[in-house]
């Protein structure tokens, strides 16, 4: 356990940021699952609209520092390819 005041503050800050980042990643995963469910149902209109929403959420994760840009691009690319193949 930290004894110095600044180290204690850092622990508190890290805990807050970790919780926030977990929530962001969870939210992104939820949107991705929505796209995958729309793809499995076979309705291209629903999948396209779900992809549009998920894409903005994934890129928001990049700006917040939760995802790397290339990871996000790869996820979006793979999802859009699956939607396109419907």
How many domains is the chain built from? 1
| Residue 49 to residues 21, 33, 56, 69, 81, Cα–Cα distance (Å) | 25, 13, 11, 22, 14
Residues of the chain with pLDDT > 90, as a percent, come to: 97
The first and second tokens of residue 15, run together, are 């805990």
* Residue 1: pLDDT band with limits 50, 70, 90: confident
**How many residues make up the chain in this entry?**
86
pLDDT digits (tens, 9 = 90+) for 33-72: 999 999 999 999 999 999 999 999 999 999 999 999 999 9
Q: What is the CATH number of the domain that holds 17?
A: 1.20.58.110
**Mean pLDDT score of the chain:** 96
Residue 33 lies in domain: 5-84
């Amino acid at each position: 356990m930290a004894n110095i005041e600044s180290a204690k503050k850092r622990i508190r800050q890290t805990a807050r940021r970790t919780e926030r980042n977990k929530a962001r990643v969870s939210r992104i995963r939820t949107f991705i699952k929505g796209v995958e469910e729309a793809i499995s149902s076979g309705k291209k209109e629903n999948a396209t609209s779900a992809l549009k929403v998920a894409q903005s959420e994934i890129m928001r994760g990049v700006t917040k520092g939760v995802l790397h840009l290339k990871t996000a691009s790869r996820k979006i690319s793979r999802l859009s390819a699956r939607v396109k193949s419907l």
